[in-house]
A and B are shown apart, each in its own frame.
Chain A
Amino acid sequence: MDAQTPAIEISGLHTAYDKADVLIDVSLVAKPGEITCLLGSNGAGKTTLIRSILGLTPPHAGSIKIFGEEIAGEQTHKVIARGVACIPEGRKMFPKLTVVENLRLGAYQEPSEAEIRHRLAEVYETFPRLAERRNQLAGTMSGGEQAMVSIGRGLMGKPRVLIIDEPSLGLSPLYVKENFRIIEGIRDKGLTVFLVEQNVHQTLAIADAGYVLSGGRLVAGGTAAELKSNAEFHAAYFG
């Protein structure tokens, strides 16, 4: 694989979801091994973009490439098989499954039991709390603990590209800080992170590059440093 091949390359993407939430001619690139963030307010189309990548809402037009392979319109399980994983907004635990069952679902496409056990051990090392609670039903855990399960589950698939949707939503500031530290750690291990957030300052503090989505269109893009000083971005984001 060419080192310059983008982890995610989206061009000319048009998607309509529930009519209100649309994407118009969106093009962006996420470089491998970087945190690329997508900023935007509610209803800007951030979730629609994620749904398009994951194949949950197939786009009308445009191209989505993961490490050079076209995935636009593919079924979700095939997209996942190409090395994509998602830590969804609101954590989306399977509340009536245990912690370990939730984690195992993250590695659903991995056939080797030994490899799954190895990955479980890694997740337990990152989140010792989950090891203690492995047989507890996920729905009975606190919001912060569920966030750990959700992140752990995303890592269980050993993805090449990890999409994280609003990890700070509904968490206390302490957990938000902890979560962003973990996301930085994930990037430092070489994974490509596509981070979708509303929390501008904390996100730009850890991101390498970013885009701003407003009304379904990209209105700004660049490195994190550029975005921080971009007047257009401030106008779009803060009105």
Chain B
Amino acid sequence: MDLFGQYVINGLMLGTIYALVAVGFTLFFGVLDVIKFSHGDVLMVGAFTGFTAAAGAAALGLSHPALQLAATVVFALAGTALLGAVIAKWLILPLKNAPRLNILLATLMLGTALRESVRLFYPDGSNPKAFPALLPTSAWQFGQFTLRVDSTILVVTGILVIVGLHLLINRTRLGLAIRAVAQDEETARTMGINYTLIVLVTFALGSGIAAVAGVMDGLYYNEINFGMGLLLGLIGFSAAIIGGLGNLYGAILGGFLFAALQMIGAVALPFASAYKDVFAFAVVIALMAWKPTGLIPERASDRV
């Protein structure tokens, strides 16, 4: 039973991370109808920025983990938000009227460039980095079931970010503008919305949220590497697709569903847990064949 509990916590943890990656894909698709394949690598850059900030804070004598964590989060968020806006302004908006495949290919190549740049130019970038344990390492004991404090903080933080995003999109003027641009760019412009600004803010927002996922991943596994964005990006993209691309809640659902599939693959099926990704992706393929427009199709619900 305690093993089952650990798997549930692990699944929630991964589901939160995947959901945070998937909402980025869905936000970008919502406002610009584009798939930004560099998203996973932007996440990786966020994790490395956070890692560097933690090291920098430590070097400056800020020894308290909370201060290092604050530096990690602030720099990771700001760095990726800026990177996301730069990518939108200089790569994606100029290609807006080009065939979709061009944008897909351009962002795929950008992702590779980001990945290789970190590998080549970051000090000892080709080796995994030990991410510092900045969260309390204690644990609560419930009978045989152990609940780690750090996991709990991470899951709760991730869910708060998702709830915050929901409120931002549905309750604020900025969110209203994002939804208007997603539905009808030209009419949104004639309402007086600064279209370019909203696109840049949306890309900054989606990228910042990916950085949260990247830092969470680093804190959870105590390790980051230059290739971490590849699988996380692919999983986030799959989660957004099976949820129904363009739908925020579909993306969140998709993220948790993918994590659940991995856990089922690891625990419940009669083969080695190393096959969990094979199982999860196979189910994703089957789901896409069954519901090509996703579990929450865009037409039946709000876009973004």
Contacts and interface: CB of A to CB of B under 8 A. Distances in A.
Interface in B264-304: 301-303
Nearest to A163: B190
B177 A108 contact: yes
A92 B192 CA distance: 15
B184 A54 contact: no
Contact of B302 (A81, A86, A96, A157): A96
Contacts of B194: 75, 77
A80 B303 CA distance: 25
B45 to A, nearest CB: 31
B52 interface: no
Nearest to B190: A86
Contact residues on B (Cβ < 8 Å of other chain), bracket: 20 to 34
A169 interface: no
A108 B190 contact: no
Contacts of B177: 105, 108
B192 A88 contact: no
A94 B179 contact: yes
Contact of B183 (A77, A94, A108, A109): A94
A97 B183 contact: yes
B189 interface: yes
A76 interface: yes
A77 B188 CA distance: 9
Contacts of A77: 189, 192-195
B180 A97 contact: yes
Contacts of A95: 183
A233 to B, nearest CB: 30
Given A56-B186, A88-B187, A104-B176, A96 B303 contact: yes
Contacts of A85: 190
Interface string A86-100: 101000101111000
Interface in B181-204: 183-184, 186-195
12 contacts: A54-B190, A56-B190, A77-B189, A81-B192, A92-B184, A94-B179, A96-B179, A96-B301, A96-B303, A101-B176, A105-B177, A108-B177
Contacts of B191: 80, 105-106, 108, 153, 157
B189 A96 contact: no
Closest 6 CB pairs of A and B: A80-B192, A76-B189, A109-B192, A92-B187, A105-B191, A77-B194
B193 to A, nearest CB: 6
A54 B180 CA distance: 18
Nearest to A91: B187
